[in-house]
Amino acid sequence: MRRTVPALLALFLLAGCGTAAPTIDVDDPMGTAGDAVATAGTVEIRDAAVEPGDTGSDIAHPAGGDAELTLVAVNTGDAADRLVSASSPVASAVDVSGETVLIGGTTLLVGDTGSAVPAGSASVTRAAVTLDDLRQALSVGPTYPVTLVFERGGPVTLEVPVDNP
């Protein structure tokens, strides 16, 4: 019996050493697996992606169409910042609309992020960023460059994927 107890204890402890399935934490600055992350001054950009398309094919958004971005921007500083513009070589124009000011400690949700508000955020504002008149079709798999310009933080270019539907 004396040998059985330590052997069972060792077996029990080793059983807990397996690998667990990955989890996604919206408070994690690394963002959702596969989505783009970046920093512009005191603004942390997380979970940046193009919304999935409704085409039912490999092409999520056909050339000539529009595509919405989704992202979470958190101002970790004290001074206010503002998303002033955006651009991408895959779109003829990029439209930024809604409330784009980020007071210190606030969060800006762009598009339908599906994300909860990060812990410690004072308040939330919502905006939309649309890639207008796509110059090429967008597919799930590759990433596409999008540059966001913040008033204080300056420009930051992200390689954004198209979210899988």
**Average pLDDT of the chain, as a whole number:** 80
> What tokens were used for 2?
């004396």
Q: Which residue has the higher pLDDT, 121 or 42?
A: 42
Structural domain boundaries of the chain?
Answer: 23-161
pLDDT of residue 57: 77
Indicate if the pLDDT at residue 29 is higher than 90: no
Which CATH code is given to the segment(s) 23-161? 2.60.40.1890
**CB distance 71 to 48 below 8 Å:** yes
Residues 111-164: pLDDT tens digits? 987 655 555 555 788 999 999 999 999 999 999 999 999 999 999 999 999 988
Task: State the pLDDT confidence band at 1, using cuts at 50, 70 and 90.
Answer: low
**CB distance 127 to 57 below 8 Å:** no
**CB distance 70 to 48 below 8 Å:** yes
> What tokens were used for 157?
């270019």
| Range 105-117 burial, b when 16+ CB lie within 10 A, else e | bbbbbbbebebeb
